[in-house]
Structure 1
Amino acid sequence: MNHKSRVSVVIPFYNCPYVDQAVESVLAQTYTDIELIVVDDGSTRYMEKLEPYRDRIVYIRKKNGGTASALNLGIKASSGAYFAWLSADDLFHPDKIRRQLETIRSYGTSFCHTAYYYINELGERFSGVIGMQFDSRSHLIETMMSGCPVNGSSVLLDMQIFSRVGMFNEGFLYTQDYDLWLRILPHYKWSYIAEPLLDYRVHQEMGSVIHNEAQNREIALVQARHKGILTQLLREEKAK
């Protein structure tokens, strides 16, 4: 049974040296009805960084299968009414969950994302505010058809969404988030917080740096898969 006000935060963890900082940022949230699930996707390093938190987290270990498989396992183990995902190398700002819940409830939306900052290996911010304000739903749909401005770690969504559109596609290694957002978009209204509530870490070991070419191929595949329904959705929006 889902607890009506609980937020389940899932951290997929694979050999990430920053995972303890990610955990700390969730435990430091000003909103307290949070369940933190760390899914260890077959790590061989840095597991000891989780030891001090084992009594405050749900820890699940599985054989390596990629980010989408780790997220899906975390979702299945969740008891919350809302889902948030935090990459093991990123950091929530203390008010993130509280602000997003307030936004979702006040606007009656099911999906909320936020602006963010870039941080480096040392945790130092080196960017201005990263984000995109959409002036209409048509603008949002058009933008999502050409690229993904939604940072996965910035998202909070209603857990009921998964029963309607399904969970993350485990066949996608790099764009499982983009594919899911495009499946959600036709059915649910989104809200956006222009204030940065996340620190997104940019470093040489991150998947998007190492696998850039494969990621670009997958983006094209995801866009082609959703083009028909999104084109129709855009036409309907513009006709309103």
Structure 2
Amino acid sequence: MPDVSIVIPFYNDPYVAEAVESALAQTHRSIEIIVVDDGSVRHAEKLADYKGRIHYIGQVNGGTASALNTGFRLASGAYIAWLSSDDKLHPEKIERQFRAMSAAGAWIGHTAFSVIDGGGKVTERCVSPPGEDYSAFYRAFDGANPVNGCTVMMRKELYTWLGGFNESLPYTHDLDFWFRAMLAGFPFHYLPEPLTFYRRHGDMGTLRHRDAIAAEAKATYARYSVSWRRFLAQIGVQAR
């Protein structure tokens, strides 16, 4: 059983080979790489050279949450890391985060990240919202999502216990999962090192579906509003 499974959901993404290469280049060797092809009709041929080095799973298009659930359910690692197919991992990402989370006994954690453009050039070296201030971190969830999904690592047991990602939420399945984890008593461990390269480019879904994302996010925040404010009061954090 590997220490960590890296799950890469993929749909018509020309950057997917770069994501896979960054996963294969990890200094921590006890890993498995699972690529879930969510019904792609373009760029799947880019994965042909990785046969035997990755687990390739094809499925009918069901959205990112569906692809993540497929990969996470099949993962055999004690921990699971999520990597979007247009992003990349720092070579020491898994090693550093696995070591830090294991030492802390953490069930879910995230890190800082760097921003790259479509050509892979770093445009921001260390994005760390809201830093190591945990009060600010919790308050940020009142109308924002301070956790970049591709910086996250979690125990497989936590994923199973919480029941996976909500597939009825095309865009905020990650935010919904973070709320459920924290409300269930699993705080985020934070490693303030930029260990993921988050790509901003013209074809990214957050730009193409901006209005739909905003509407779904508003509904997600509203759904958790009462329980979240009650939670903040219990841990002594002043809501905004």
Smaller-chain TM-score bracket: over 0.9
Deviation track 1:169-193 (CA, whole Å, cap 9, x = no partner) reads 1111111111111111122122111
Instruction: State the alpha-carbon separation in 2 of the partners of residues 44 and 128 from structure 1.
Output: 34
- Asked if 1:197 is matched to 2:178, the reply is no
Q: What is the letter of the counterpart of residue 177 of structure 1? A: D
Identify the residue that residue 207 of structure 2 maps to in structure 1.
Answer: 209
Measure, in 2, the Cα distance between the counterparts of 1:110 and 1:176: 19
* Shift in Å, 1:129: 1.2
TM-score by length of 2: 0.95
1:27 deviates by 0.3
Aligned-partner Cα distance in 2 for 1:150–1:102: 20
Residues 115-146 of structure 1, C-alpha deviations (whole Å, 9 max, x = no match): 1111111100111311121323x432211232
Distance (whole Å) between structure 2 residues aligned to residue 162 and residue 22 of structure 1: 23
Instruction: Report how many aligned residue pairs link the two structures.
Output: 235
8 Å Cα contact 2:5/2:77 also seen in 1: yes
- Which residue does 2:138 correspond to in 1? 141
| Stretch deviating more after TM superposition (105-114 or 79-88) | 105-114
Partner secondary structure for residue 30 of structure 1: coil
What TM-score do you get using the length of structure 1 for normalisation?
Answer: 0.95
Q: Look up the SS of the partner of 2:124 in the other structure.
A: coil
Which ranges of structure 1 fall in alignment gaps of 5 or more residues? none
Query: For residue 25 of structure 1, what is the aligned residue in structure 2?
Result: 22
What is the alpha-carbon root mean square deviation over aligned residues?
1.2
Which whole-Å CA distance do the structure 2 matches of 1:10 and 1:99 have between them? Answer: 18
How far is the alpha carbon of 1:77 from its aligned partner? 1.1
- How far residue 109 of structure 1 moved from its aligned partner, in angstroms, is 1.4
What is the distance in 1 between the residues matched to 2:162 and 2:81?
A: 16
> Is this contact kept in 2: 1:117–1:199, CA < 8 A?
yes
For residue 63 of structure 1, report the CA deviation from its aligned partner. Answer: 0.7
SS at match of 2:202: coil
Aligned to 1:83: 80
What SS does structure 2 have at the residue aligned with 1:126?
strand
User: CA–CA distance in 1 between the matches of 2:5 and 2:178?
Assistant: 18
2:36–2:58 CA contact under 8 A, matched in 1: yes
On the 8 A contact 2:112/2:192 being kept in 1, the answer is yes
Whether 2:108 is the aligned partner of 1:124: answer no
Q: C-alpha distance in 2, partners of 1:194/1:39?
A: 29
Deviates more, 1:36-45 or 1:179-188: 179-188
Cα distance between partner residues in 1 of 2:31 and 2:20: 12
Q: Show the counterpart of 2:97.
A: 100
Amino-acid identity (%): 43
Is residue 174 of structure 1 aligned with residue 174 of structure 2? no
Post-superposition CA distance 1:188-239 (Å, at most 9, x none): 1221111100111111111000000000001111111111221111111118
* Contact kept? 1:114, 1:154, Cα under 8 Å: yes
> 1:185 aligned to 2:217?
no
| 2:3/2:30 contact within 8 Å kept | yes
List, as ranges, runs of 4+ consecutive aligned residues in structure 1 with deviation greater than 3 Å. none
AA in 2 matched with 1:25: S
Q: Deviations over 1:51-74 (max 9, x none)?
A: 000110111000111000000011
Query: In the alignment, is the contact (CA less than 8 A) between 2:132 and 2:192 conserved in 1?
Result: no
Q: CA deviation at 1:106?
A: 1.9
Contact 1:141 1:230 in 2 (8 A): no
Q: Distance in 2 between matches of 1:111 and 1:91?
A: 20
Which runs of 5 or more structure 2 residues have no equivalent in the other structure?
none
Displacement of 1:167 in angstroms is: 0.5
**Paired residues of 2:137 and 2:146 also in contact (CA < 8 A):** no
